Amino acid sequence: MVIDPREQRVIDTVNRVGWMVMKVAPNRGDPDPQWFAYTIGLPVTFGWPELICFGLELDAMLELLNNAVQELKSRPVTPSSGLVLNEVLEIFPARLGAFSASCFGEYLGWSLWFARFRGLKPEQFGCLQLLWPDKDGHFPCDADCRPEIRKLQTPIARPH
């Protein structure tokens, strides 16, 4: 199997750190541009679902996802939908929400590649969405959440 330089970078980063964050900017001319970032390697390193975040600046999402992984590493919990994280944001808590498996192919390309490369079966792979609240502390799934915040975090995860 021939590994190209981009693949080797992912392999090396996950081997060194335990995970990495992929930042994704929309293509020019996209009718519905969407900025997002997601982790690579969490199922392999920790047996956890990957994490994905939408709607903020790329570097902010990178920081939030890294903060989430650091907090999860320090707590004796398995990441799951509805889990509240208190050390991801400065003012409000963040929350993990369900992320549909039907969206994995569209949003998690490198995560899927790495999981397959490391021999994980599809049933060993999952993803949770890192949700952030509006300025009043309401999450996208809350009835009182500001509509613009709800729209930024599309596709919206539905906590169980």
For residue 101, the enclosing domain spans 5-26+42-152
Residues whose CB falls within 8 Å of the CB of residue 155, separated by 6 or more in sequence, listed in order: 54, 99, 100, 103
Tokens 């600046």 map to which residue? 57
pLDDT band at 155 (very low <50, low <70, confident <90, very high): low
Q: Is the residue at 157 inside a domain? A: no
**Residue-wise pLDDT tens digits, 3-39:** 999 999 999 999 999 999 999 987 777 666 678 999 9
Residue 33 lies in a domain: no
Q: Is residue 60 part of a domain?
A: yes
Total domains present in the chain: 1
* Position 12 in a domain: yes
36 within a domain of the structure (yes/no):
no
Asked if residue 81 belongs to a domain, the reply is yes
% of residues, the chain, pLDDT over 90: 77
DSSP secondary structure of 78-136: ---TT-EESSSSSSS-EEEEE--GGGHHHH-HHHHHHHHHTT--GGG--EEEEE---TT
Domain presence at residue 47: yes
pTM of the complete model: 0.92
Mean pLDDT of 80-108: 94
Return the percentage of the chain with pLDDT > 70, whole number: 94
Q: Give yes or no for residue 89 having a pLDDT over 70.
A: yes
Q: How confident is the model at residue 128 (pLDDT cuts 50, 70, 90)?
A: very high
* 50, part of any domain: yes
Please provide the average confidence, as pLDDT, over all residues in the chain. 91
18 or 153, greater pLDDT:
18
pLDDT of 33: 66
* Per-residue pLDDT, 154: 74
